[in-house]
Every structure is written in C-alpha cells, then in structure tokens.
Amino acid sequence: MTTTDTHCPYCSLQCGMRLAGGPDAALVEVLERPEFPVNRGALCGKGQNAAAVLDRAGRLTTPLVRDRRDGELRAATWEEALDRTAAAFTAAQRAHGRDAVGVFGGGGLTNEKAYALGKFARVALRTANIDYNGRFCMSSAAAGSRRAFGLDRGLPFPLADIARSEVVVLVGSNLAETMPPVLRYFRELRENGGTLVVVDPRRTRTAQQADLHLQPVPGTDLALALGLLHVLIAEGLTDEEFIAERTTGWESARAAAMAHWPARTERTTGVPVSQLREVARLFGRAKTGMVLTARGPEQQSKGTDTVGAWIDLCLAAGKAGRPYSGYGCLTGQGNGQGGREHGQKADQLPGYRSITDAADREHVARVWGVDPATIPGPGRSAFELLDSFGEVDGVRALLLMGSNPVVSAPDAVRVTRKLRALDFLAVSDLVLSETAQLADVVFPAAQWAEESGTMTNLEGRVILRQQALAAPDGVRSDLELLHGLAARLRRAAAAQTEAADPEDATTPEDPPAFRADAFPADPFPADAFPTEPEQVFEELRRASAGGQADYAGISYDRIRKEDGVFWPCPDDAHPGTQRLFLDRFATPDGRARFAAVTHRPAAEEPDEEYPYYLTTGRVLSQYQSGAQTRRVKKLNDAAPGPFVELHPQLASRLEVTEGQLLTLTTRRGRATAPARITSDIRPDTVFMPFHWAGPGRANSLTNAALDPVSRMPEFKVCAVRVERTEAAR
C-alpha cells in the first residue's frame, strides 16, 4: 500500500491528510496526518469522506458537445471539443471585439490553474473580461484590509495565535459547520482563560460555544461595530499612543463613531446596550484581542465599510500590528486566498500586482514574453460579468472553470437566463453540474487527487496537494485544456477583422469547425502554456517576485520539507512571513488607515409585501454549490436537502408546523423547502442553506445589489415573504 501526503479538497483550512491505496479510486482511503500543524490530524465529515468524490461513477470521462441537429449534448473527441471552442472564441472576437469572450474562474482552483487562467485570458484571448467566484467570497474583506493595511491576507497571523489571544470577536461565521477542525483553537482560547464573543443573527453551533452571543438584525453589523467603538471612546478605552504612532485618519473615524451612541445602536441592531458595553469593555481592557469576520458582515452591499468599521475597532483599541492581536478574515473556499492573488480577479495581475500600474504590467509582461501594451486593463467584476451575457456590448462567449453559478450566484434565476443568452459556453468540470448542462462544450477535468498543485490557505500558508492516482481515461487537467486552446488561438492576432473569412461567423446553431490556417502570425511564445504544474509554479514564482504576494522563495521541495511556507517569501533564504504588520503596515507611510464610515440600511429592507429578513449560509455536510458533496452518500444522508429555519413565534403566526412545505418569495424569485422550527433564530428572520439546485435553490431569492468598492453581492440580507406552500399557489 502506498501513501501520499496531501490536503483536503474543500475549505480554506486545507487540512492535512494522507491518501492510502490505489491505483483504483475505489480502493483509496483517507488517513490522518497528525503532524500537519493546521488541523493536527482532525478532519470534519467532508474531509473524512473526501475519497468518495474520487469515485468514477457519475464522473465526466469524455468531452461533450452540443449536437447541431437535436441540440443535445453528445460525446466527442478532445480535438473536436477544442476545435469548436477555439473557433467560437475567435468568431466572437472577430464579430464583437476582444472583450466579447470572457473567462470565469473559481476559488477552488490551484494557484497554478488560477495563474494560467489569468494569463490565458490576457495573453491568448487578450480580453479584459475575467473574474471568478471568489468575488462572492471575501472581496469585501480584501478591499477593507487593503484600504486599512495596504495588504490583504486573510489572516495576518497563524491560526495558532487565536488560542493565545485574550478576547476574540467572531462576526458572521459558523465555524462549527463550515470548518470544524478550527474550533480546536477557540476551545484552547477558552481553556487559556480567554473570551469568545460570537455575532450572528442565529444561535448557531458556533454561537452555542461562545461566552457571549450578540444576535443583531441581519445587515446591521456595521452599526454594531460603530456602536462598540462609540463605547470604547466614551469610556476612555482607546489606545491613544498606538493611534498616534501607527495610524492615520482617527479624528474622522472618531466623529463617525460618536454619531452611533448605544441607544441608537440598540434600536438599529436589536443588541441590548448592556451587551454593547460588556463587549466593548472586554475588548478595550484586554491586552490582546482579535476580530475575525466571515461572510455574514462581508456579503452585504456595504461589506467593505462594515469590515472597515470592525478594523477601526481593532485600531482604536491598539489590537493590530501586535502579537496575538489583529483583524482577520476567515476565507471560505479552498484557494480563496491564492485564487485572487495571481490573476483571476478582474483588476489584478500575479503577485497581487495592479493591472493599472505601469511597473506591474512591465514586470509581468517580461515574464510572459509579451508587450505590456497588449495586456488588457480591468474588466467587469463577477456578477457584472455574468449580467453582461448576451448584451450588445457584453460577453458573447465564455470559458467557465471551477464554478457552478446556476446554483451559487445571486439572483440565480436571472443568471441562468443570462447563461442561456450566450452565443457559446464552454465549461470544464468533474461532473455534469447544473451549469455544465447549459454548455455548448463540456470538458472533463482531473480533480484534486489526480494532479498536483499548490493552494494557499486562510493563513497565507502555501501548501502542496500531491497527485495520488491517475485520472480516468479520457480526462485531462485544466492546464492541458488551456494548453490545447492556446495552441489553437496562437495565430489569432489583433487584426482579425479584415482577414476574417465570412464562413467563420459563429451562431449558436451552427458553430464552425476550427481552421488553424485562417489565423495570422504568432502573438505569444509557443511555450506560454505548459502542462506540468511545477513548471507553471516556477513561472508564477518569477511573476510574483517583488509583488505583495511574493512567492519567489517558495518551491515544491521547500513546501514538502516545511509543511507549507507563508508568503511573502522573497527568496530561498527567507523563512516566510507568519505574522504581518508587527513593525509597520504595508501602506506607503507604514501607518494603518482608519475608515470614517457610517451605517446605512441594506439595499432591500422588509416592507408590507415582503415582511421578513432572509439570510443564507451553509450546513456541515455540504459544500458550496454541492457539485461534489451531493455525490457522497454519507454526506447526503446527513443533509439530504434544503430547509427553511424560522422561529416558533413566526411559525405560530403563519400556522406552520415542523416539516411543512414553505414557499419563500422575493422580488427575484421563489424557493420551496420544508420548515425547521427553532428558537435559535430571530423572530423576524428566516434562514436557508444554498447548496441545492431546483425548487429549493436559495439563490433564486438573493439580491445582487453590489458593494460599490468590492462589487460583492448582498447574499446575506434581503426582504422575503413566507407562506405555506398551499397558500402560495
């Protein structure tokens, strides 16, 4: 029996594990890997059953193309699928311009794939329109951190530091269900005499383990943070020496907070003044303290400002840039951190470089072997990209990799309609997901244990997933897919319009065959898209060198020896940076910046027609859009379908009994699921998990109102009507 050290395919903890057995996927077994420091051997149910997703039953093992006669997907060769995709992309760009082709990536892709995908968009396609579903994950936290600290890394300290802090305020995160192994650090915090405060509209499994639970109205986390800061100021608990020496903008932030006095904050948030004072005093008087946010406060149309207010609380109390203190974001997706560092985001180049900065463009162009002028500028953010499909000046053809927006995007009814409006859709996936079912071409992709690649976890620790078994026959890696498409697009240069053959025009009904001889001279190096992950990573190291997310000193061999390496790591001799900001912040003057922000309502508040708040989230046994976990029997048995969580008072008012089918209606759509009655939720709020498609699709309801800075949609709060299903018909 052989064993391979690797990592879980799910969340951003990237828990260490071993895979034993093979080469048949059915014989692979997950073993503990207790020496890996993040999870120390512990695995949640998803991790324990991770080998089940390697089962070849239900897997895609051959490309599929949409038949021109009956419109159904049929099996095809890789050559046919690649040719058809390259032809469709070329025709769309000839007819509508470079930006008519878009790329949509995923926060679960390895660093190598994320890097190659960003390069493919900007070098092979020369389109500005690339973004990824990580925009829906922690873009508000990233924007808030960059504004305050000049740098975004989910946690600027290792997870182990949590246990050594005196007070941790956890805002909008249900870790007991989303990443259970991390709870060890919070238990150790309390065993060491520390205090855990949880902020959540629901009394979740995580909130049940807290010393204090604040239960605000959904969408009022910004007001809550400002109210706590007001108490801190009023009671003389601010760290004036730290503020003077290491920050700027305090006076404006102070004035903004003083407008949110305790009684006003209680009226807005529903959190009693007594709790506000208790938490502010605990945090202000402690020598060390942390605020950790997650999707609750971030997935709002004011998410960046909300994060800014919680950072202000840390800065005012002197709880940042010091050991065992600071603000951190709990990244959700497996590579949510690395995925946005290396070029999937619409405005970024590898190494967290800016696509609008001349020096950054010059550096990356040199690595890529292209003229900096050929690299496009910023494109549309994720939802704006999806919403442009089929529009006159929007994206007409799309390559989608590692995402399932039919289930996971906000206002999913609209997004599904937009996907159908595309002239051409190519999807790379492991299974025929709900989104892949709409595609013109589907490519079967290798998955986590069938290929090697690096991931960057929520601490900024770069780890290595190592290949443990071969992919099924007929399956190729995403790097091979990009290589094949790039080879076909390589002759496509900017001056295609005049040279275009009229017969090359693409329509949804009759996409043409690809003709390599129809394209002019080579626009980028022939070896621009290698297929070996380590070779791609070596190029990524060079592209990131000198950037904020500097991986230049990180290698596969070093990761294996050191159980991961923290970035920034500028050279081979550098130890990696576990703790950021201890000496200075990453701003030009080294000082953190306060954000002078004021509370404002959610984009959509309850009214007479839609009288309740809806909030969404996850459950323990499912993950994201469920494309992987819904294939695993043990996980499905534990969480077989969606539900609507509501308070007994609301259930009584609506004459609803446990298990009764409910219809939830918003201004965007409807969803139907059985009732789950619990006093753990506010009486004015209902909760629905978002892992399922069909009638129980929670994102049929959610609001795509965008944060003006991060472009994050407002998943976490909207107005909803709740009815018994028979009454809703």
Task: Assign residue 271 the CATH number of its domain.
Answer: 3.40.228.10
**Does residue 516 register a pLDDT over 60?**
no
DSSP 298-358: HSSTTHHHHHHHHHHHHHHTT-SSSTT-EEEE---STTHHHHHHTT-STTEETTTEETT-H
553 contacts 574 by C-beta, under 8 angstroms: yes
Given this model, what pLDDT does residue 57 score? 86
Tens digits of residue pLDDT in 701-722: 999 999 999 999 999 999 999 9
pTM: 0.94
Given 532, 566, 600, which residue is the final one in a domain?
Answer: 566
Residues 319 and 342 occupy one common structural domain? no
Residues 150 and 243 occupy one common structural domain? yes
Judged by DSSP in three states, 603 sits in coil
pLDDT grade for 517, boundaries at 50, 70 and 90: very low
Given 534, 566, 598, which residue is the final one in a domain?
Answer: 566
Sequence-separated (6 or more) residues with CB below 8 Å from residue 32: 17, 18, 41, 42, 43
Tell me if 586 is assigned to some domain.
no
Given this model, what pLDDT does residue 396 score? 98
Q: Return the number of other C-beta atoms located less than 10 Å from residue 255's C-beta.
A: 11
Given this model, what pLDDT does residue 491 score? 65
Residues 657 and 626 occupy one common structural domain? yes
Residues 481 and 497 occupy one common structural domain? yes
Tell me if 104 is assigned to some domain.
yes
Tens digits of residue pLDDT in 434-482: 999 999 999 999 999 999 999 999 999 999 999 999 999 999 999 999 9
Residues 381 and 287 occupy one common structural domain? no
Question: What is the rounded average pLDDT for all residues in the chain?
Answer: 93
Q: What is the mean pLDDT of residues 557-580?
A: 97
* % of residues, the chain, pLDDT over 70: 95
Residues 180 and 281 occupy one common structural domain? yes
Rounded Cα distance, 713 and 711, in Å:
6
Residues 366 and 454 occupy one common structural domain? yes
Tell me if 598 is assigned to some domain.
no
Which CATH number goes with the domain that contains 22? 2.20.25
Tell me if 572 is assigned to some domain.
no
Q: What is the mean pLDDT of residues 269-295?
A: 98
Tens digits of residue pLDDT in 14-24: 999 999 987 67
Tens digits of residue pLDDT in 299-334: 999 999 999 999 999 999 999 999 999 999 998 898
Total tally of structural domains belonging to the chain: 4
Residues 236 and 270 occupy one common structural domain? yes
Tell me if 588 is assigned to some domain.
no
Tens digits of residue pLDDT in 661-671: 999 999 999 99
**Does residue 54 register a pLDDT over 80?**
yes
Tell me if 259 is assigned to some domain.
yes
Given 332, 356, 376, which residue is the final one in a domain?
Answer: 332
**Does residue 197 register a pLDDT over 60?**
yes
Q: Would you say the C-alpha torsion 594, 597, 599, 603 has a positive or negative sign?
A: negative
Residues 208 and 99 occupy one common structural domain? no
**Does residue 586 register a pLDDT over 80?**
yes
Given this model, what pLDDT does residue 726 score? 76
Residues 650 and 701 occupy one common structural domain? yes
313 contacts 253 by C-beta, under 8 angstroms: no
Which CATH number goes with the domain that contains 617? 2.40.40.20
Boundaries of domain holding 16: 3-54
Tell me if 471 is assigned to some domain.
yes
